[in-house]
Amino acid sequence: LGVASATANWLDRWGVKRNLTVLEGKSSKIDVASQERDLIWIDDDTSLWPMFPNHEFWHPRKPWTPKKIPKNVRVFDSWDQPLDWLDVT
């Protein structure tokens, strides 16, 4: 099971409502983000943060997670945290 499939399964299993899901390809994500205003990114790519300072990022803590976190970024240690933030638990 690939990361994209696992992510889609996780979203579906928890009944996460969404208008759009982009699971693969940094360029695809950037294209969509350039057109959409209200996005929540769940992504471990910190290089995207400065590109979209008006979007919200939810970042799973990784060894490369910076110590200084921008205001538009939430860092989580457990996948239960985003479920709480989405109010789906």
Q: Residue 73 CA to chain centroid, in angstroms?
A: 10
- The mean pLDDT of the chain is 88
pTM, two decimals, is 0.82
Nearest to 11 by CA among 58, 46, 61: 58
Instruction: Indicate whether 7 pLDDT > 90.
Output: no
Sign of CA dihedral 30, 20, 44, 82: positive
